[in-house]
Structure 1
């Protein structure tokens, strides 16, 4: 049985707010609430893959401390745009 879009978005929202570090809970849950409904199916799948990455790597990518892997660049740019004030002062 394949997961339908509604259930996938619900699952991704839950995974976005139950992270390893509080900063990523805040960043990813805000992104999930604001953007998941509008993402394409391909971008939802990519976001699902992104959520398997280490939180410290994600935080470094979003905050600009580490180089972002090519496949995640556009998605990380969207997440970073909403993370102002969490990863760096506003």
Structure 2
């Protein structure tokens, strides 16, 4: 049986750790978002956030500020939906 993000404290801690960024602005936005929404994230939303966290800090800032949109393998509806929520945080 697979473990969901919400049922595994280690997965939740790992996501929080990955959300820590070198750019203070990214760090503040991601921390604020997780503080407000982490408990309600679905596994699809966690997957989308993980994909977003895989980009470099400068690219992440461009995504959050809507200066660019996800492309390639990350151009998925769930990634766009999570970015919309992040941009509102």
Q: TM-score range by the shorter chain?
A: 0.7 to 0.9
Q: Tell me what 1:78 maps to.
A: 85
Contact 1:13 1:33 in 2 (8 A): no
Q: Tell me what 1:44 maps to.
A: 46
- Counterpart Cα distance in 2 of 1:67 and 1:46: 13
- Counterpart Cα distance in 1 of 2:38 and 2:24: 20
**TM-score of the pair, normalised by structure 1:** 0.75
- Counterpart Cα distance in 2 of 1:66 and 1:52: 15
Counting matched residue pairs gives: 80
Helix, strand or coil for the counterpart of 1:53? Answer: coil
RMSD of Structure 2 on Structure 1 (CA): 1.8
Which consecutive unaligned segments of at least 5 residues does structure 1 have?
Answer: 83-90
Q: Tell me what 1:66 maps to.
A: 68
Contact 1:21 1:55 in 2 (8 A): yes
Q: Tell me what 1:9 maps to.
A: 12
